[in-house]
Every structure is written in C-alpha cells, then in structure tokens.
Amino acid sequence: MKVSYFPGCTLNTTGKGFDNAVRAATAAVGLELIELAEWNCCGATYPLIVDNMLELAAPAHVLVAARNQGSTVTTACTTCYNVLKRTNKFIREHPDERERLNAFIEAEYQGEVEVKDILHLLRDEVGFAAVQEKVQRPLKDLKVACYYGCMVLRPPAEVAYDDPDHPRSLDDLMTALGAMPVDYPHKNECCGAYLTVSAPEVTREMVYTILKSAQLAGAQAVVTNCPLCQFNLDKRQAEMAQFHAGFQSLPVFYFSQLMGLALGLDASEYGWERHYIDVRPLLNSLGL
Amino acid sequence: MADAENGYSKQVLIVGAGIAGMQAALDIANSGYQVVLVEQWPSIGGHMHQLSETFPTLDCAQCILTPRTVDVGRHERIALYTYSEIEEISGTVGDFRVRIRRKPAYVNWDLCTACGACTEACPQAIPVAFDRELELAKVMASGKVRLVGTGKAIYTLSPQAVPKKPVIDVRYCTYFQKGKCRLCEKVCPVGAIDYEQQPKWIEERVGAIILATGYELYPLEKLGEYGAGQIPDVIDALAMERLLSASGPTAGVMRRPSDGKEPKEVVWIQCAGSRDPEQGMPYCSKICCMYSAKQAMLYKHKVHDGQAYIFYIDIRSAGKRYEEFIQRAMEEDRVLFVRGKVSKVFREGDKVMVWGVDTLTGLPVEVAADLVVISPAMIPSEGTRKLATMLGVEVDEFGWWTERDGNLAPLETKQPGVFLAGAGIGPKDIPEAVSQGSGAAGKVLSLLSRWGGPSDPASE
Amino acid sequence: MKRIGIFVCHCGTNIAGTIDIARVIEEIQKFPEVVCALDYKYMCSDPGQQLIRDHIRDDKLDALIVAACSPAMHETTFRKTAATAGVNPYQTEIANIREQSSWVHQKQREAATNKAIETIRTIVAKVHYNQSLVPFYLPLVKRALVIGGGIAGMQAALDIADAGYPVVLVEQSSGLGGRMGQLSGIYLNFEAAPDLLSQTIEAVTHHPNIQVLTNAEVTQVGGYVGNFTVHVEQRTPEPPEPASATGVVPGNPVSYSFDIGAIVVATGYDLYRKERLGEYGGGRYPDVIDGLQFEAMLRRDGPTGGLIRRPSDGRIPKEVVWVQCAGSRDPELHMPYCSKVCCMYVAKQAMLYKRQVPEGQATVFYIDIRSQGKGYEEFVQRAMTEHDVLYVRGKASKVFQEDGRVKVWGVDTLTGLPVEVEADLVVLATATVARSDAQELGQRLRISMDEHGFFNEAHPKLRPVESLTAGVFLAGAAQFPKDIPETVAQASAAASKVLSLFSQRQMVQEPTIAYVDPEICSGCGLCIPACPYEARTMHEWRHIAVVNAALCQGCGACTVVCPNKACQVRNLTPVQILAMMEAYL
C-alpha cells in the first residue's frame, strides 16, 4: 500500500532518527510512504491560531500538495497531524471561509484529502496482527509505558481515532511487538508542551508525574509517538534527581524505533545518540 | 352561588392576583367553578406586570401577560376585587366566611371610562410603588435639575392595566393634603371622582382558599453597605426592570436617575441580603442570577459600548435553557461575571464606587460605576403573617408559607381546604409559579369534585 | 357589501415608535368597505376592547381588522371581543404590523409605515370573502392515561382520580415508585424515600378509579384530544386471580386498548451513563460509582444493608469524593445544561456519609453551588459547618487509579492551585438526561422534544405543563431535570389541566380547517399522504377524500397538492389568497 507522506520539519531535523525508523518500519510491513513532492511547514499549533485565514494558509498548502498526489496523506509528527487534520475539517465544514482561503492561496481545495496519523494507518490498514507476523526479535520482557500526549486525542471530535481518555493503539502495537505494556493512568496527561521553553520547572514537574506513575506501574521505558513529548519526557529528566531524590531515569523511545528493532531491521540510523537518557544499556540488557 | 346538597360552598377564594393566583383562578374558573380573586394593588398581574423582558427567551413580559390579565378580567366566573384586602376569615373547609375590604379609590369605577384625563390634569408628580418609587432627573423651567417621581397622585398602574381604573394616592394628593385643587374632578367627563368615597366591605362564603400572596424585595434602606437607598444611582432590580421596560418611565431608554445620562458602566450586585445569615436571610432568593444576567443582556443591547459587571457568589442557572442563557450573556454580550461579594458602595463625584473582591484572582476590585443595580433578598409580601394568623396556617421564621410536606405536599397547608401557590411559599421564577398556580388549582378541583362537581359546567 | 372596522394598535411605542399611525389611519380609511378606522395605545387593554365594542355597535360593523401584534398573541382576544359584541369571531382578522413591520424595520419609518398600510390592505381583501363560521362540537372521553409510575405520574393519577375520573396508569417496570423509589433518605429532612412513597403507592394501587398496569408500555396512540385510542402492551401480567380466568399464560404479552380523553406524560429521567465519562474512569474502576449507586448503598434494603462500603473490597471508605457536574455544564464533550438536582443530593449524601463514618473525610468538587429552594441554602451550609464536608470550587479534571488507590485531580479555583485527593470511593454526580426511549414515545404521542430529548412545553413560562399537542400534558423530569417538590407541584398542575378539560361537556374544534368539495374531488388520493395529521382518508365507496374535522389543523398542505382545488381551507381559500396578492401588488 502506497500513501503520501508528510515528514514535517521536526522529523526532518532533530527527529531524523524517528523519521528513519518510521520509513524503514512501515516499509517492512508493506506500507510504502511517498514523500510529498513539495511541502512546507504545517503551520504548527492550530490552537494558537489568531488570524484564521493567514494561519490556515500553510496547512492548506500542504493539503493541496497532498491532494495532487493521492487520496490520503499521513504524517508521523503528532503536531502536524493535529494541524492538518483540523484544518482539513475546517475547510470541509466552512464553505465561506473555504472560498476566501482558496482565493488567498490560489487553489481549488474542498477538503478532499484524508489525513491519517501513521499509527492509525498501522492499526487499521496494515493491522497489528500483520505486524506481529513480521516480528523477528520480539521485545520480550520489555515493560513499556505507552505515552500518547494530546495531539492525536484532543479535541476528540476532531482528531481522535482512539479512546481519548483511555487510548490503546500504542499499547496494542507494543503487545504485537512482544513487549509488555503497563497500565498507568497518565498516558494522555499533558507533558508540559511548550512550557518547556518559558517555564521548564513546570514541565519538569508534569513530566515527573508521568514518569513516576509509569515507574510505579513497573515500566522500564516509555514509548511515545510524539516528538515534542519525547523531547520533554527525555530532556527534563536530566535535572530531575536534584528535585526528586532517588529518581531513577527512564529511557524514552519512539514507537518506530522499537518497531524497527523488533522487525530485525538495521537500526543504526535511528538517532540513538540524540537521546538525553541513554537507551543503550537497557537495549543491551535485553539483548536488542 | 348555589351550594351543593351537602352545604359545602364550591366557590374558591384566591388571595393575590399575580401570575400564580391568576393561573389558579383561570384553571378553576375554566372548570366551571366561581372564583373570588382578591388583589391589594389597583390592578392584577403582580410583579410580572412590572417586568421588562423575561428569561431565558427574552419575551416581553407585558406581551405574554396581557392575554392572561384580559382573560381574568373578562372571565364571567371570576369576581375580581382589586385594591382590596382580606380583613377577616373564619370557618373551615367547605365553609369559610371571608370579609373583604375594598379600599377607597376616590374614583367611582363604575362610571370611569379610563380616559386618562384625570392623570393628565393632575399637577402632582409623585414617586409610585409600581415604578419602585423611582425619581428621575428633570430639567425644570428654572433650568435647575430636580429629581421627580414618575407617576401622578391619581394614577393607573399601566396602560394595559386590568382593570384600568385610577386611584388617588391621598398621601400626595394636593386636595387631600391642602384642601384645594380638585383638578381631576373638573376634567373628568363622567363625574367619576368621589373624594368622599368610603371603604366597602364584601362578604363571601367559599369552600377552599388558595394563598398566592407573592413576595416583596428587601428594602434598600436596610442595606447600609450599599448606600442605604440614599444614592439615586443605586437602584433595586425591580426599578431596573422599570427602566428597561418599553412601557416604563423612560419608555425603555437607558437613563440613570440622577442626571438622565446613559450609564456606561453598570454593576449588578447579587445576594444583597440573601445568603446572609447576619441580615436574617440565610436563604437564596433563587431568581436573581437569572434576571441579573437578563438585565445585563438587555442593557448591552441598548448600550452597545457599555460595560456590565455582575458580582456573584455562585451562578445559579438551574433550569431549562438557563445555563445556556448565562453562557450567552458571557460570550455574546460580554457581560463580565466577577466571583466575589461587594463590600461597599459609595458615591464619589458623579460616580458610584463599588468595592469588592475577585475571589478567583484573590485581588480587590474597584469599579467606578454610573449605575448600580442591587438584587435584594426576596421577602414575603406584607400582610402574609396577618393572614396566617387569621387562617391558622403556619409560616416559617422568615414569613414564608409552610407546606404540609416540603416534598410530597408542596401546595397544601396543614389546614384542610387551604392551598398554596407561587412565591409566597418561597422565592421562585415564573414557570414554577405558573406550575404551582395550576397545581394548587388541581388540588382544589379534586376537592370540589368530591362535593358533586361544578353546578355550572364550563361547556360552551 | 361588508361593513369593516379597522383598529390600529400603538402597542405603546412598539408600533407607534416606528410607524406613522396618523398616516396609516388616513390611508386605510380609503379602502373599500371600511366604515371606520381608529387607533389606540393598547388595543388589547380593557378600554381598547371597549372601543372596539362601541364601534361595532355604533357603526354597525359586521367584520373587523385589528392591526397589531402577531395573531398568535391576540387573535383569540379580539375574536372574543367581536363575539361579545355580536360579530362572528371568524369575521375578525389580525393584520400583523408589529413583528412584521415595526420590529423588523425599526430604523425605516417610511418603509415600515408603507408596509403596515399594505399589510392592512391585503387583510381587507381577505376579510371581504370571509364567511361566518361556527365551531364543531366533538365528544369527550373523560378517562385519563398517565404514562410513568414515578412520583410525578402517581401524583397526577391521584389528583385526577380523586376528582372522580377513571385513570389508567402505565408503568414500564415491575413496580411503582420510579426514581424516587431508588433513593435513600431525601433532602431536606432525610426521611426515608421508601416510607414516604409507600403511602402514595398504597393510595394509587387501592384507588377505585385507578387501573395500574405495570410491566406495560404504550405501543400505539391514535386519535386526538378528548378521543385518543391508546394501545398498551403488558409483558408479564400480574399473577392471574384465583384461577386463570382469562386464560392468560404468564410471559405472553397482553394487549389492552383504551379510549382516553387526556394523557399525562411522566416518564422521568435517566442518568448519563458513567461509562461515557472516561476522564473520570467511569465503568473502569469499581470504586467510581454514580449518585444512584450511592443511594442504593444508603438504603436499608440495599445491597449493603444501608452500610457504606466500597465495592472493590467491602471496606469502609475513609475518603469519599463527590464530583459534581460530571457530564453536565460541559458543552464540548457532554451536556451543556445544569442537571439541577445534583448540588442538593450530593450535600445530602455527604451528610449521610459523615453521619455513618464520622471520622471520614467528605470532599465535594463543584463549579457553583446551586441550592435554590426553600431551606436549601441552609442545608448546604449545614453540610459545610456541622458535618465538615469540604467543598472545593473547581471542576475535577481526572479520576484515575494508581498503585491501588483512586485519585482525583482538580483545581481549587479559589487558591488557583491544583488539588489531588486520594479517595477510597468516588461518587460521580452524573448528568440527568432524557430517557433513552423518550424519542420513540414522543413520536407516538406526536409531541416535540428539545435537542437533548426532553419534552417541550407549550410555552416556557406561561404553559409549563402543556405540550404543543392538545390533550397531552407533561409532568416531572421528562420535561427537564427537577427535584421532588417541583415534580409533585407540576404533576398536580398537569392534573389540573386534565380536570379543566374534563369539566367541559364536549370538545370544541376551530372551524377554520380544510374541507373537500365532493363535486370537484377526483379521488386521486394525493392529499392523504400530504396530511401531516392523518386527518384525510378515502371514502369507502364514494371514492373521494374526506376530512376528519377533529384531526385537521388547517395547515393547508392538502390544498397545495390537490390538482383540482377541491381541497380548501375555510376562510383561506384560493380566491382569498389571490385577492390578497392582487391587493398587495
């Protein structure tokens, strides 16, 4: 199956390892990602939109590019997904604004494209059972806490393809890969998002709540699908022990990294060196 | 009125012709029984008659009320005694004897054609109860601005009043006070003015009674922290209704009393006396949250660049479409709700200063307002206790009627044959008062049926 | 030649503030057949109506037009006025110059005035052709149907039955009592609901005028006010009397058919399913329960024998948290409205809990405390001061289980700080919602409902217990969430409406309805499906359409589809419509 792919700027830069793993892992299960011939910034942060017309222009451009290439566009960046999905819905449901927007970006776009998160495609188009069949090295004994953040869940009516309060698609994928997902209550709690810039101490405490809860449930690692969450959960651990005595750090993976490993792919380009908390000791101990 | 074979009277007395009493009267009269409806004001309609528009639909109160008042006024089975009081009640269920005192209007209502010439001619502008004794700024011939009342010493409550008959307020009438004038007598084309009129007494025998005596507002004079009624631009909520009403003293144009200017900053203060055990009224007055939001909306519809503030403790919008109404006030009309009680209101220059605290930020708030609207506690109508003693019906410590059972018999008293409806039982809004009016009527109809049903079936 | 009088109302400033009344009077006097044209400040007032009566007499009018507000407002008023002065009421028409002129063209005096004049001109053209009509009289069955055996239905049934009329009370479940039957002690005095109810249930079951059908459902409703035909199906009939005289086998449904004059709908409410509140772990964690489950726990005859025990392990909960507005006041995810009763029952439950577990901690998360009722405010204050119930102003954001404990997250909006409470038991005050089968019943009864499934009252203020369908009345929480005293009062009000109806000798029907000209009707049958009131049938052997006068509402749908103009509405005939258009153009 071929699908248009929008990498977005994060996966093109700091998240390159995530991107490499996504492309390799999806290819291995028969999902061929065709990168959009031309693409620009998704516009980032839909909720911050003040001037609708102007802010919608960037994602609309991306959607038009996607339309010219196929019926579905996917992305692995949850923020890009959120922005594209909601912009597309807005365009579909607001004929007047749509007309103005089209005039502005000089296009004829009605919202024909279907925007799907990569995890959504893996779950519904490929199927986790099919993924499981391709597993070469099951992630045996790896207890993971799956962390979803908010971008693929909220607002539920606009973006969610999973239960917004008790999501399970990542957990199910991890189970398919042979890992043991742990149940803990903060899978969808806020990671602090951009407060990491303006109020890192707030983000740190939010991250602590999440990690602590994951550890209580017995997790050895966290796995996520969101680049910003990955950054916050990973980076904010550096100074954690200063504020929370006895805090034990937890590696934070992208799901695609673990997927690539389980599928027995070459994982050398997965950006391991970019992790703030070294993931290698854990992987070594598990023989991965 | 022919009585049943068993000697019970199937005539029903209803005390109070507000919306609850009128509803009860119509339901009973439409079922074929005779009703005696007694009202202390000169015309029927009660407080609803004073309102501008009503929440949550913003229907004009007069518009929806007038068909009712007209129906009551015209109903062949409703004997209407307005400007009247219950002087004495004795007897028991099926056989109550009622003595009604009709106050002298000093106008022969049988002759009066409601042409309005008397009111027109009357030289004495007075503050009237119907307009909450508002006094509005008026530029006199001398160029001075004076505050004058909105009514005349001979007046009818409103153009749509039922019955539309004038009364003379002897406290203000120049003739009664100084012995000369008699202008109204001179202009009356039918000779209806009667300065010698005496009270009249009417005796009725009834089988059942509905008490629909309604409420009053706690007087501003008793609210010292809010200016004790001494600041002209601090008014109570019913006065605001009059200022907002198209048939009110300003014809619905938003003007503040002291100088007639359009107020640009208006503050509503909730729970003035309510939820305040120290004032002796620990209870919630139930309707203020909704009518304040409504008033603020109406104000904003009239003064687009104005700012409306509502100080509240809890927003109580528990009713069908009430919550949504409050949200509309906040979102569409930009009414600013401040959670906190106001501590003090005082005059500074031509402003009214409001001091309070925003309990959500924990910070003190000061607003330099042009107009302040107080939501005083609702209290039982004057005369409720007297009536209670006469009937042997209980009232609670605040003077509200006591139900036979708060849950399962909310419209009955412990006195057989005596029923309750409306805000005399405790604060309530229009739909609830109407429900209770019908509900009390239902109780009465059940009772009367046991005595053989209407002797005058309501068939057309 | 008719003698038409026109009466123009100022409606205070509502009309006169915009429309030039003097010019209107001047113009309309010139219209054909107009004998007099007058204006008055409030035509609906007593003197206004007297003015009309005087002119009917003095000018010998035989038709009149009142130029005023919408006919929905005062058509009846002025038709009555006309009748009392000897003019056939159907010779009276309203020209709406308020809603359709002065209100919508407030800043265009000239245009609004012209429109008012033209509006009156068209009505003059109509009145020229108006016929004098008399109402129809129809029989009236004096038996009531009450749907729902909760406190609302029982109270309504009792009031009607006490007045001497037979009542059929249909209850879906196996017993009477409804939701109140599920409660423990009720506010304000903690009286045991079952004890209180037992007297009412007793009175209903033994009332000679009430026939109670439990396990039963209204399956079909035909007819119209005064003459409904109602089918009821009973699933498991009560054990047959001594011998099975009727030959009924338990388990087989039994069908009943009743002739009914009036219907009271008292079907009550449901609770929003706690499973839909994922953010609060509803349905996920055993120690997260809803308000009615806590009530069950408080009842002597409940699963715990009246002892408060948490479901997961049967221990006494030492920390109980109530989450208010769980699904209410939440337009984004759940219900936008306030469920009205939660603040009070939560205070009550917290007090009952503290009485039973004095050393326990009760915490209530709320947005606003809504204790609006007699003694209610004082009751909540008692919960706070005498029972040390901790009220936290802030919505709970999340309920979750961690390390074997249930935790509640929220924010205290008064300090601005986040709050975390470890709880042994969490009670969700879930939204009060319309019953899931309300829609179906509403369709059967042809009554409308709002977007949430609550039945619509005829007027939100002045007709709170009537539906828009004549003869169908509303009581209790099926209309909107309400507590027991309000429900009981409303039930008596609905009963009052039924009793008023039953006091008539017969039903009166407006004559301004459709008729079929038998000479022209070709029997094509197009009008039958067009009629939204099922008022049209084909005559068995004449093969022409016939009108059921009792059902017809005069909507005119048939006149539109009829290819031969055989269907016409009285006093709104094609001739009249064309005359009106001609007058206007």
Domains within chain B, CATH numbers bracketed: 4-103+200-214+381-459 (3.50.50.60), 117-187 (no CATH), 219-377 (3.50.50.60)
Which CATH number does the domain C4-129 belong to among 3.40.5, 3.20.20, 3.40.50, 1.10.287?
Answer: 3.40.50
From residue C264, alpha-carbon distances to B31, C156, C190, C475, C497 in Å are 18, 8, 29, 7, 10
C398 at A interface, C-beta within 8 A: yes
In the predicted model, is pLDDT for residue C243 greater than 70? no
Dist. CA C318–CA C320, nearest whole Å:
6
Nearest to C406 by CA among C387, C421, C388, C428: C421
In the predicted model, is pLDDT for residue B123 greater than 50? yes
C30 at B interface, C-beta within 8 A: no
pLDDT of residue C292: 97
Q: What does the block give as tokens for B23?
A: 């509803």
Dist. CA B283–CA C421, nearest whole Å:
31
| CATH 3.40.50.11810 boundaries in chain A | 135-285
| Sign (positive or negative) of CA dihedral B115, B120, B126, B132 | positive
pLDDT of residue A39: 93
SS3 state of residue B385: helix
Domain ranges for chain C: 4-129, 144-268+435-502, 271-432, 513-569
Dist. CA A82–CA A160, nearest whole Å:
9
Cβ contact, residue pair C402, A185, below 8 Å: yes
Q: Spell out which residues of chain C touch residue A155, defining contact as CB-CB under 8 Å.
A: 332
Domain C144-268+435-502 shares a fold with domain C271-432: yes
Dist. CA C318–CA A214, nearest whole Å:
27
Q: What angle do CA B432, B437, B443 make, to 5 degrees?
A: 120
Cβ contact, residue pair C278, A163, below 8 Å: yes
Q: What does the block give as tokens for A44?
A: 């980032």
User: Which of B408, B419, B460 best probes binding to C when mutated, by most C CB atoms within 10 angstroms?
Assistant: B408
Are chains A and C in touch, 3+ Cβ pairs below 8 Å?
yes
Q: What does the block give as tokens for A113?
A: 């494209």
Looking up tokens 């008292």 gives C266
Question: Of the candidates B316, B317, B446, which has its C-beta nearest C159's C-beta?
Answer: B446
Cβ contact, residue pair A185, C279, below 8 Å: no
Cα B87 from chain centre: 21
pLDDT of residue A51: 63
Instruction: Give the list of residues 6+ apart from residue B209 with CB closer than 8 angstroms, or none.
Output: B12, B13, B14, B15, B89, B96, B391, B417, B418, B419
- For residue C399, name the pLDDT band (cuts at 50, 70, 90): very high
Question: Of the candidates C77, C378, C493, which has its C-beta nearest B435's C-beta?
Answer: C493
Nearest to C209 by CA among C170, C150, C236, C169: C169
Q: Residues of chain A whose pLDDT is less than 50? A: none
- For residue B2, name the pLDDT band (cuts at 50, 70, 90): very low
Domain C144-268+435-502 has CATH 1.10.3720.10: no
Interface of C with A in 404-423 (CB under 8 A): 407
Could you give phi then psi for residue C152, rounded to 5 degrees? -65, -50
- For residue B5, name the pLDDT band (cuts at 50, 70, 90): low
Q: Return the percent helix, strand and coil in chain B, to nearest 5.
A: 25, 30, 45
The domain C271-432 belongs to what CATH superfamily?
FAD/NAD(P)-binding domain (3.50.50.60)
Give per-residue pLDDT as tens, B209-244. Answer: 999 999 999 999 999 899 888 999 999 999 999 999
Cβ contact, residue pair B406, C44, below 8 Å: no
SS3 state of residue B166: coil
A185 at C interface, C-beta within 8 A: yes
- For residue C268, name the pLDDT band (cuts at 50, 70, 90): very high
User: Which of C399, C403, C408 best probes binding to A when mutated, by most A CB atoms within 10 angstroms?
Assistant: C403
C452 at B interface, C-beta within 8 A: no
pLDDT of residue A102: 94
- Count chain A–chain C contacts defined by CB atoms under 8 A: 20
| CATH 1.20.1050.140 boundaries in chain A | 2-119
Per DSSP, chain B holds a count of helices (H) and strands (E) of 10, 26
Q: How far is B408 from chain C (nearest CA, A)?
A: 6
Specify the CATH number of the domain A135-285.
3.40.50.11810
CB atoms within 10 A of CB C420: 10
Q: Spell out which residues of chain B touch residue C465, defining contact as CB-CB under 8 Å.
A: 435, 438
Q: What angle do CA C471, C475, C481 make, to 5 degrees?
A: 140
A154 at C interface, C-beta within 8 A: no
Dist. CA C162–CA B445, nearest whole Å:
9
Topology of domain C513-569, CATH: Alpha-Beta Plaits (3.30.70)
Per DSSP, chain A holds a count of helices (H) and strands (E) of 15, 8
Q: What does the block give as tokens for B362?
A: 């924990």
Looking up tokens 């009772």 gives B447
Question: Of the candidates C50, C465, C499, which has its C-beta nearest B445's C-beta?
Answer: C499
Beta bridge partners of A135: none
Closest residue in C to A186 (Cα–Cα)? C400
Give per-residue pLDDT as tens, C6-24. Answer: 999 998 778 998 999 999 9
Q: What does the block give as tokens for C240?
A: 């047959």
CB atoms within 10 A of CB B20: 35
Dist. CA B294–CA B134, nearest whole Å:
21
Looking up tokens 């009622």 gives B98
pLDDT of residue B1: 42
CB atoms within 10 A of CB A41: 13
A133 at C interface, C-beta within 8 A: no
Q: Spell out which residues of chain B touch residue C45, defining contact as CB-CB under 8 Å.
A: 66, 70, 159-162, 164
Answer for the pair C102, C15: CB distance below 8 angstroms, yes or no: yes
B211 at C interface, C-beta within 8 A: no
Q: How far is A36 from chain C (nearest CA, A)?
A: 35
Give per-residue pLDDT as tens, C144-201. Answer: 999 999 999 999 999 999 999 999 999 999 999 999 999 999 999 999 999 999 999 9
DSSP A75-91: ES-HHHHHHHHHHHHHH
Which chains does A contact via 3+ CB–CB distances below 8 A? C
From residue B226, alpha-carbon distances to A91, B232, B234, B379 in Å are 53, 12, 8, 18
Q: Report the predicted TM-score, pTM, of the whole model to 2 decimal places.
A: 0.87
Which CATH number does the domain A2-119 belong to among 1.20.1050.140, 3.40.50.1000, 3.40.50.720, 1.10.760.10?
Answer: 1.20.1050.140
Answer for the pair B422, B428: CB distance below 8 angstroms, yes or no: yes
The residue among B325 and C504 whose pLDDT is bigger is: B325
pLDDT of residue A274: 93
Q: What is the DSSP letter of A223?
A: E
The residue among C433 and A157 whose pLDDT is bigger is: C433
- For residue C553, name the pLDDT band (cuts at 50, 70, 90): confident
From residue C418, alpha-carbon distances to A213, A232, C113, C414 in Å are 17, 21, 62, 10
Question: Of the candidates C284, C333, C402, which has its C-beta nearest A216's C-beta?
Answer: C402
Nearest to A177 by CA among A210, A221, A214, A216: A221
CB atoms within 10 A of CB A283: 20
Beta bridge partners of A2: A32
Nearest to C159 by CA among A250, B31, A217: B31
Dist. CA A251–CA A18, nearest whole Å:
15
Q: Spell out which residues of chain C touch residue A165, defining contact as CB-CB under 8 Å.
A: 278-279
Which chains does C contact via 3+ CB–CB distances below 8 A? A, B
Fill in the amino acid letter for C568. Q
Nearest to C119 by CA among C134, C131, C104: C104
From residue B217, alpha-carbon distances to B39, B40, B237, B266, B281 in Å are 18, 16, 9, 20, 12
Are chains B and A in touch, 3+ Cβ pairs below 8 Å?
no
From residue C366, alpha-carbon distances to B327, C75, C92 in Å are 17, 48, 56
A165 at C interface, C-beta within 8 A: yes
Answer for the pair C547, C535: CB distance below 8 angstroms, yes or no: yes
SS3 state of residue A241: helix
Dist. CA B36–CA C515, nearest whole Å:
43
Q: What is the mean pLDDT of residues B120-132?
A: 93
B61-70 in b/e form (b: 16+ CB < 10 A) is bbbbbbebbb
Give per-residue pLDDT as tens, C341-397. Answer: 999 999 999 999 999 999 999 999 999 999 999 999 999 999 999 999 999 999 999
pLDDT of residue C147: 98
Closest residue in B to C502 (Cα–Cα)? B31
SS3 state of residue B427: coil
From residue B320, alpha-carbon distances to B439, C374, C454 in Å are 19, 19, 9
C220 at B interface, C-beta within 8 A: no
Closest residue in C to B419 (Cα–Cα)? C489
Q: Report the range of poorest mean pLDDT among B78-82, B385-389, B456-460, C451-455.
A: B456-460
Dist. CA B347–CA C37, nearest whole Å:
53
- State what percent of residues in chain C have pLDDT above 90: 84
Answer for the pair B12, B449: CB distance below 8 angstroms, yes or no: no
> Side by side, which strands form the sheet with A2-5?
A32-35, A2-5, A72-75, A114-117
Q: What is the mean pLDDT of residues C558-565?
A: 93
Closest residue in B to C414 (Cα–Cα)? B360
Q: Report the range of poorest mean pLDDT among B361-370, C61-70, C478-487, C505-514.
A: C505-514
Q: What is the mean pLDDT of residues B285-293?
A: 97
pLDDT of residue C44: 83
Cβ contact, residue pair B159, C503, below 8 Å: no
CB atoms within 10 A of CB A13: 11
